[in-house]
Chains A and B, each alone.
Chain A
Amino acid sequence: AQSVSQHNHHVILSEAASLELGCNYSYGGTVNLFWYVQYPGQHLQLLLKYFSGDPLVKGIKGFEAEFIKSKFSFNLRKPSVQWSDTAEYFCALHSADTGRRALTFGSGTRLQVQP
């Protein structure tokens, strides 16, 4: 069975600090990986996704993530966070070759950026 782990449940940073949120998955086959973000009071929305090609993926608002197949990881990074990045971040996986039709989500990381 596939699974997604986000070990950091709550991260507190000051503005301008660098960010790295961990995401590890468990699945031996081909995967598509996503990061979704949920700003306070808003719906989940796609931040970025990886399904092939360059393992370094750039998303909206200066975020990027790197797919490292050997480590089963897809960590999210941003060099300098802003107060407006305060949100909950979810890593998600879709296994490309099981026919499973929906995303498997991690439990999320709540990011709090202090001004």
Chain B
Amino acid sequence: DAMVIQNPRYQVTQFGKPVTLSCSQTLNHNVMYWYQQKSSQAPKLLFHYYDKDFNNEADTPDNFQSRRPNTSFCFLDIRSPGLGDAAMYLCATSKQIATNEKLFFGSGTQLSVL
């Protein structure tokens, strides 16, 4: 009964070739997050949506964009992937942005850049 679903599980792209990762949720949560996790490092927040309100982290490169066409879906677009963008990308949701809210994570998409 997956509640936060990420596709694909593994994605291989070429240097500079745009790629889109997808996330869907069945929880009807207001907030959706994208985290980047490189090997042996902490998950790092890229941006989040509260409903349709987009919130970018200050240090997220312009190369990363996101779309949320409806409550259920959120996409991560990498316009020109570089070798340094190879990482696990985690989607998460929460009902609200209260500080004690539990996050629900997807299984992640492992991105490789050749």
Instruction: List the 10 closest A-B pairs by CB distance, nearest first.
Output: A44-B105, A105-B42, A51-B100, A43-B105, A102-B45, A94-B99, A43-B107, A107-B42, A105-B43, A96-B99
Helix, strand, loop or mixed for chain B's interface?
loop
Determine which residue in A43, A45, A51, A102 has the highest number of CB atoms from chain B within 10 A of its CB, and name it. A102
Min CB gap B37→A, angstroms: 8
Q: Which residues of B contact A51 (CB under 8 A)?
A: 99-100
Proximity bits, B34-71, A CB within 8 Å = 1, else 0: 00000011111100101000010100000000000000
Proximity bits, A84-97, B CB within 8 Å = 1, else 0: 00000010001110
Helix, strand, loop or mixed for chain A's interface?
loop
Whether B99 pairs with A95 at a CB distance below 8 angstroms is: yes
Partner of B100, one of A44, A94, A101, A106: A94
Chain A minimum-CB-distance residue to B41? A107
Min CB gap A36→B, angstroms: 8
Proximity bits, A71-91, B CB within 8 Å = 1, else 0: 000000000000000000010
